[in-house]
Structure 1
Amino acid sequence: QAVAELPEKYAVCIEMYFSYDIPYQEISEITEIPVNTIKSHIFRAKKLLKEKLEDFYGKQ
């Protein structure tokens, strides 16, 4: 659910990377986004997911 709440550009990249084990270069080719931007999107997505999960578990 937390991934679904991410901005689409982050969700697509992180899903390809973690769910389908696609390397950065292939994600770049599929999405036609530069490799460094893919790396940045995944980094930011992980940061946002960490914050969301900390908020969720902190409330229990």
Structure 2
Amino acid sequence: MNENIPQDPFLLLSYVNLKLRDYYPSLDEMCAALNLDKAAVTKKLSGIDYAYDPDSNQFV
């Protein structure tokens, strides 16, 4: 994962949801723009029982 984003899963959750809410219409677009590995982000957040919901464009 990009070293400029939080590595702690709870901080990552907050960071990603803020970016999705305020700047990006989808997880794919956010990952492309920020050069993030979508699978790595999704895996890290699934470790704390969060999954991406495309309808709300958030991890819930």
Give the TM-score range, shorter chain: 0.3 to 0.5
Structure (1 or 2) with the greater helix fraction: 1
TM-score, normalised via structure 2 length: 0.40
TM-score, normalised via structure 1 length: 0.40
